[in-house]
């Protein structure tokens, strides 16, 4: 994390002035000055999102249009399959899919969302990786696609059980959307891109809006009593309870999708024996792991005490062994559970639900049990 003296180099999202006006505690994150919390505090922000609706600024994320030079979206989809293990060609217009860019070793360069907008693909990538992702797309797909970054757009997430009722006041069409529907919508008189998705495990929406209209639209949403602004702190605890990966922590260039417990995201058509098996970077590493398994696996972990076990804590097979067998990659307190939760990597032989391991925290070995994820049931509208 950057020192406050380096603030002059931080970028601002289109909602920066609003965060400051609302009393947000600003911190550096992925090169941006972002709110970690507001006066309400992380705990209340988290619980408010689970019970009502929370408004998140995710404008630091990268938004990219992938436009086929032929005018045929299937050509863009076929081209993108050169870089990701997912079936993009079968992605119907108006639908969105989770994907990963992989490298030749099978590691994950970034994870992203891919939507079919009918005549082109719309991608949302992670903030810290967006420059590299754009360069990666240009290097490999420029023969087929025009790669168009969309820096003039903000991205707002409205998450929680009341999100549909609230957003429907501004766009009646959203009530008919189901989980992972995505496409252009007219919202509050603004031409937006809306997906029914998010990063909290709750029902909700992500709305891409022109930057110059973002603050007024956010203020309109916040004028509803059920909506509170939510900072990075609660965003992290919400996604951890939902068992969702944070790139650079739970997955990175050293982890394959199978090791990361993300094999559900790779459709059968791209696996061995499928209609378009392989053809993506690292296929020779990733695909055999479906049959033979990987040596390690991302798992959910529940500490048996009350103390949170944080990222970086070493994991051991027992209370006395000297050699670590794994590491915690995300950990903290789960407000919805009123208990600590974590995730990390263990040898596959010790990754079964109910297995017992120990984490080293301040010189002590704390017992943990391997737990199913998500820790809190998701509420997506299927």
Residue 3 has pLDDT above 90, yes or no: no
Same domain, 162 and 230: yes
Separation of CA 359 from chain center = 26
Distance CA 85, CA 241 (A): 26
**Residue carrying the six token digits 């709305």:** 207
CA angle 18, 232, 101 (to 5 degrees): 115
Same domain, 309 and 226: no
Residue 221 lies in a domain: yes
Same domain, 26 and 168: yes
Residue 301 has pLDDT above 70, yes or no: yes
Same domain, 168 and 233: yes
Same domain, 159 and 52: yes
CATH of the domain at 318: 2.40.30.110
Distance CA 344, CA 323 (A): 16
The DSSP annotation for 202-239 comes to SSEEEEEEEHHHHHHHHHHHHTSTTEEE--HHHHHHHH
Residue 4 has pLDDT above 80, yes or no: no
Could you say which of 241, 268, 283 is where a domain stops?
A: 241
Same domain, 309 and 165: no
Residue 46 lies in a domain: yes
Taking the CA atoms of 298, 339, 365 and 310 in sequence, report the sign of the dihedral they define: positive
Same domain, 231 and 301: no
User: How, if at all, do strands 182-187 and 153-159 pair?
Assistant: unpaired
Q: What is the pLDDT of residue 2?
A: 40
Distance CA 113, CA 107 (A): 18
- Give 240-249 pLDDT, tens digit per residue: 999 999 999 9
Q: Other C-beta atoms within 10 Å of 12: how many?
A: 15
CATH of the domain at 31: 3.30.1360.120
pLDDT band at 291 (very low <50, low <70, confident <90, very high): very high
Residue 345 lies in a domain: yes
Q: Where do the DSSP E strands lie in 117-216?
A: 121-125, 145-149, 153-159, 182-187, 190-195, 204-210
- Give 83-131 pLDDT, tens digit per residue: 999 999 999 999 999 999 999 999 999 999 999 999 999 999 999 999 9
Average pLDDT score over residue span 312-327: 97
Residue 323 lies in a domain: yes
Residue 6 has pLDDT above 80, yes or no: no
Residue 363 has pLDDT above 50, yes or no: yes
Same domain, 196 and 340: no
pLDDT band at 182 (very low <50, low <70, confident <90, very high): very high
Distance CA 70, CA 78 (A): 12
How many separate domains does the chain show?
A: 2
Residue 276 has pLDDT above 70, yes or no: yes
Residue 303 lies in a domain: yes
Same domain, 235 and 318: no
Q: What is the pLDDT of residue 152?
A: 98
Percentage of the chain with pLDDT > 70? Answer: 98
pLDDT band at 1 (very low <50, low <70, confident <90, very high): very low
Residue 375 lies in a domain: yes
Query: Mean pLDDT, the chain, as a whole number?
Result: 97
Q: Which domain covers residue 171, as residue numbers?
A: 4-59+152-241
Same domain, 164 and 54: yes
Could you say which of 220, 241, 262 is where a domain stops?
A: 241
Q: Other C-beta atoms within 10 Å of 275: how many?
A: 11
Same domain, 305 and 229: no
- Give 129-158 pLDDT, tens digit per residue: 999 999 999 999 999 999 999 999 999 999
Give yes or no for a cis peptide into 374 (omega within 30° of 0): yes
Residue 214 lies in a domain: yes
Q: Which residues contact 77 (CB under 8 A, 6 or more apart)?
A: 88, 89, 91, 116, 121
Token reading at 134? 């754009």
Average pLDDT score over residue span 35-62: 98
Same domain, 195 and 304: no
Q: How many Cα neighbours within 13 Å face the side chain of 115? A: 23
Residue 351 lies in a domain: yes
- Give 211-230 pLDDT, tens digit per residue: 999 999 999 999 999 999 99
List for the chain the helix, strand, coil content (%; round to 5).
25, 35, 40
């Amino acid at each position: 994390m950057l020192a406050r003296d380096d603030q002059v180099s931080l970028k601002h999202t289109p909602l920066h002035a609003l965060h400051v006006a609302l009393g947000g505690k600003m911190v550096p994150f992925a090169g941006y000055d972002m709110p970690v919390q507001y006066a309400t505090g992380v705990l209340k922000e988290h619980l408010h999102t689970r019970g009502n609706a929370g408004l998140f600024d995710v404008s630091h994320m990268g938004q990219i249009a992938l436009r086929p030079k032929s005018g045929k979206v299937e050509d863009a989809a076929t081209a993108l399959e050169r870089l990701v293990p997912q079936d993009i060609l079968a992605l119907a217009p108006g639908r969105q899919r989770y994907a990963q860019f992989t490298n030749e070793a099978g590691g994950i360069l970034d994870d992203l969302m891919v939507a079919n907008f009918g005549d082109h693909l719309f991608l949302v990538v992670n903030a810290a990786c967006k420059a590299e992702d754009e360069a990666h797309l240009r290097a490999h797909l420029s023969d087929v696609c025009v790669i168009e970054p969309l820096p003039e757009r903000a991205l707002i997430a409205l998450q929680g059980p009341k999100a549909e009722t609230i957003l429907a006041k501004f766009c009646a069409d959203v009530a008919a959307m189901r989980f992972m529907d995505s496409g252009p919508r007219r919202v509050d008189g603004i031409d937006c891109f809306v997906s029914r998705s998010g990063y909290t495990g709750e029902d909700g929406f992500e709305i891409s809006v022109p930057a110059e209209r973002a603050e007024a639209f956010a203020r309109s949403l916040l004028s509803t009593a059920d909506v509170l602004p939510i900072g990075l702190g609660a965003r992290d605890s919400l996604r951890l309870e939902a068992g969702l990966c944070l790139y650079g922590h739970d997955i990175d260039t050293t982890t394959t999708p199978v090791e990361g417990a993300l094999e559900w995201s790779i459709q059968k058509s791209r696996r061995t024996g499928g209609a378009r098996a392989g053809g993506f970077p690292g296929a020779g590493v990733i695909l055999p792991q479906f049959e033979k398994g990987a040596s390690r696996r991302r798992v959910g972990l529940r500490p048996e005490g009350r103390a949170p076990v944080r990222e970086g804590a070493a994991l051991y097979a027992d209370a006395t062994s000297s050699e670590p067998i794994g590491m915690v990659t995300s950990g903290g307190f789960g407000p919805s559970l009123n208990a600590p939760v974590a995730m990390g990597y263990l040898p596959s032989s010790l990754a079964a639900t109910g297995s017992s391991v120990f984490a080293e925290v301040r010189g002590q070995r704390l017992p943990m049990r391997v737990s199913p994820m998500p820790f809190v049931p998701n509420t997506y509208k299927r």
